[in-house]
Chain A
Amino acid sequence: MLIQALLVALVLGIFKMEWIFGWPQICRPIVISTAVGLVLGDPVQGVIIGSVLELMFIGSFPIGAAVSPDYGSAGAICTAFAIISNGGTAVASALAVPIALLGGFIFIGCKLMASFFSRLMSAQIEKNNMSAVSRIYLFGAWFVSFVPYFIYGFLSIYFGSTAVEALVKKLPTVVINGLSSATNLLPAIGLALLLQMTISKKMAPFFFIGFMMAAYLGMSTIAVTLFAVMFALIMISNKNDQAKVAQTVGGDDNEF
């Protein structure tokens, strides 16, 4: 268990350093779950669990000051729990909620620690010591991204795995099967959250067109997406034409 806990903790800690390297989205469950699957010897199950967790958390991403559930910790830790306990996606998604919430609180702690490093930077700015400012920044960035999550990952797996395994063994099959099928509903939450952010009355038909292309015509998401890009391009050039027509007709200047 020690080795597994260390491996998962390392993956989580290192992937959390994504903020230093251009925020490449490696903490999305689809990526980090696969990586955890890889180090635990089952990348295929990793990517499958990742796809479920990804959809669960698809509507949550950190914007500004708001703190959202930590999908990265959930992706890494819950995938590890699922693989170690043989509980599959049911275990992963049932545990994802508490693990992600605790991760969200840890994130608040990280930001508070960042304030401390910020004060150290300000002190060096007064002395005009630029290389010290840079060093403090990089050390602080590494510290707040790697250390708390490494500890979180390690403690969860080292102390939690046995409990999760025991729980999975005790749970009646009805509950496990029920949870598994309920897991299939979870993407609805992520997608509804996304909808809330993007939909407006005027734009709503596009959502339904996308849905109908997939449902009635059986088109894959890739196909729908590519059609969508073309639709949007046509619509924009139509808009431009209309604007030009209006201009040549010589409408009221105040309109523009």
Chain B
Amino acid sequence: MSSKITKQDLNKVFRRYLALNALNDYPGQMHNGYTFSMIPIIKKVYKDKEQQVAAMKRHMEYFNITPNIAGFALGISAAMEEKNAEDPEFNEDNINAVKTALMGPLSAIGDTLFPATLRILATSIVIGMASDGNVFAPILFLLLYNIPNFLARYYSLHYGYNMGADFLVKVEKSGIMDKASYVCSVVGLMAIGAMVAFTVKVTTPITIGDAKAGGLVLQKSLDSIMPKMLSLIVVGIVYWLLSKKVKIVPLLIGTLVVGAILFALGIIG
């Protein structure tokens, strides 16, 4: 007879799960961290030594999900290990099969939500303060990112455990994944658009004729059509180069060199 997993056990898992991707390697990505996080559960539900070893070995298989919401997988695994300990008919292979099934969809939504959207959002909110030299900018950034980060970790673990293996079915039925990724792309893209206007600082000092005698100041004419037009154009050029498979390093160095030359020629200023 095995004992039931309690909230305290899940909290033990939570503390370990914070370090989920601290020892990634090439063969198995987060497998070390997954095993490390599952140890309190394995210790609790299995009394038999052989079963404990088998369970740990099972979780040493490849695992990779955006760590911020990998708690779903951990919670589900915990529920399944518990079932496996109670029910001798339970097919152990299902535990890893479910984990593998979760990797694609959860990483897709997780990568969109956390590193791509939430981080960009937090950055876009504080970047103006930061470039003005306000030292509270990083503190605000950390709060904006980490309150959702830690809440997501905590609740994904507990929800995962409570929902068990039906998790994926339920989520797909509710359509929440599609909605969340739609909101993320709208908000992310608009924030990026605004950041293009504010952070890519490029103007041109070109004047045609004598400015004082009514000559053409190019920047003024550009501004009357669309302010920050040059910023948008620069981003457009880089975007185009990237889609032509230009690598990032040549692009970075090239931008510095071309930028310095254009400045020296008096084309940008």
A residues sitting closer than 8 Å to B (CB atoms) are 19-26, 28, 30-31, 34-35, 38, 43-48, 50-52, 54-56, 58, 60-61, 63-65, 69, 93-94, 97, 101, 111-112, 114-115, 117-118, 121-122, 125-126, 128, 130, 133-134, 137-138, 140-141, 144-145, 174-175, 177-179, 181-189, 191-200, 203-204, 206-216, 219-222, 224-225, 227-229, 231-233, 235-236, 239
Tell yes or no: B193 within 8 A of A by CB.
yes
Q: CB distance A203 to B186 under 8 Å?
A: yes
Cα-based distance from A220 to B26 in the complex (angstroms)? 42
A125 to B53 CA separation, bound complex (whole angstroms): 6
Q: A206–B130 Cα gap in the complex (Å)?
A: 25
Could you tell me the dominant secondary structure of chain A's interface residues? helix
**A187, B201: Cα distance in complex, Å:** 9
* B119:A61 contact, CB within 8 angstroms: yes
Q: In the complex, what distance in Å separates the CA atom of A160 from the CA atom of B42?
A: 49
Given A191-B199, A225-B121, are A181 and B268 also a contact pair (CB < 8 Å)?
Answer: yes
Is the C-beta of B96 less than 8 angstroms from some C-beta in chain A? Answer: no
Check if B2 is an interface residue, CB within 8 A of chain A. Answer: no
Q: Is the Cβ of B26 less than 8 Å from the Cβ of A227?
A: no
Nearest B-chain residue to A185, judged by Cβ: B259
Which chain A residues lie closer than 8 Å to B155 at the CB level? Answer: none
13 new A-B contacts, CB < 8 A, other than A178-B259, A183-B259, A188-B235, are: A61-B116, A125-B35, A130-B43, A145-B22, A179-B260, A181-B260, A185-B200, A195-B189, A204-B189, A206-B185, A210-B189, A221-B194, A229-B187
The answer to whether B116 and A198 touch across the interface, beta carbons within 8 angstroms, is yes
Is A211 within 8 A of B194, CB to CB?
A: yes
Assess whether A211 is in contact with B36, with CB atoms less than 8 Å apart: no
Main DSSP-derived SS at the B contact region: helix
Using known A-B contacts A31-B142, A186-B252, A221-B128, determine if residue A138 contacts B19 with beta carbons closer than 8 Å: yes
Within 8 A of A (CB), among B219-237: 226-229, 231-232, 234-235, 237
Contacts of A187 in B (CB 8 A): 195, 199-200
Distance to closest chain A CB from B22 (angstroms): 4
B217 lies within 8 A of chain A by Cβ: no
Asked if B56 contacts A51 (CB within 8 A), the reply is no
Contact A30 B141 (CB under 8 A): yes
Q: A115-B27, A188-B235, A194-B120 are in contact. Are A213 and B255 (CB under 8 A)?
A: no
Shortest CB distance B266–A (Å):
11
A31 neighbours in B (Cβ, 8 Å) = 138, 141-142
Chain A nearest CB from B225 CB (Å) reads 11
A187 to B228, CA, bound (A): 14
Interface set of B (CB-CB < 8 Å, partner A): 16, 18-19, 21-29, 31-33, 35-36, 39, 42-43, 49, 52-53, 56-57, 60, 64, 67-68, 107, 111, 115-116, 119-121, 123-128, 130-135, 137-138, 141-142, 145-146, 149-150, 153, 179, 182-183, 185-202, 226-229, 231-232, 234-235, 237-239, 242-243, 248-249, 251-253, 255-264, 268-269
B200 near A22: Cβ-Cβ < 8 Å: no
Q: How far is the CB of A247 from chain B (nearest CB, A)?
A: 13
B141, closest chain A residue (CB): A30
Judge whether B197 and A211 touch: CB under 8 Å.
Answer: yes
Min C-beta distance of A68 to chain B, whole Å:
8
A243 to chain B, nearest CB (A): 9
Contacts of B264 in A (CB 8 A): 174, 178
Interface centre among B22, B64, B131, B197, by most chain A C-beta atoms within 10 angstroms, is B22
Contact between A118 and B259, CB atoms less than 8 A apart: no
Q: Give the distance in Å from the alpha carbon of A207 to the alpha carbon of B198 in the complex.
A: 14
Contact A184 B200 (CB under 8 A): yes
Given contacts A24-B145, A101-B249, A115-B27, contact A199 B128 (CB under 8 A): no
Q: In the assembled complex, how far is the CB of residue A239 from the closest CB belonging to chain B, in whole angstroms? A: 8
User: In whole angstroms, what is the CA distance A196 to B240 when docked?
Assistant: 10
- Smallest beta-carbon distance B44→chain A, Å: 11
Chain B residues, CB < 8 A from A144: 23
Q: How far is the CA of A55 from the CA of B194 in the complex (A)?
A: 13
Whether the Cβ atoms of A225 and B187 lie closer than 8 Å is: yes
Q: Is the CB of B138 within 8 A of A47?
A: yes
Q: Provide a sorted-by-A list of 9 A–B residue pairs whose CB atoms are within 8 angstroms.
A: A65-B26, A130-B56, A182-B256, A186-B252, A209-B190, A213-B190, A222-B125, A225-B191, A236-B183
Question: With the chains together, A134 CA to B9 CA distance in Å?
Answer: 16
Q: Is the CB of A198 within 8 A of B188?
A: yes
Given contacts A50-B138, A56-B252, A188-B200, contact A178 B191 (CB under 8 A): no
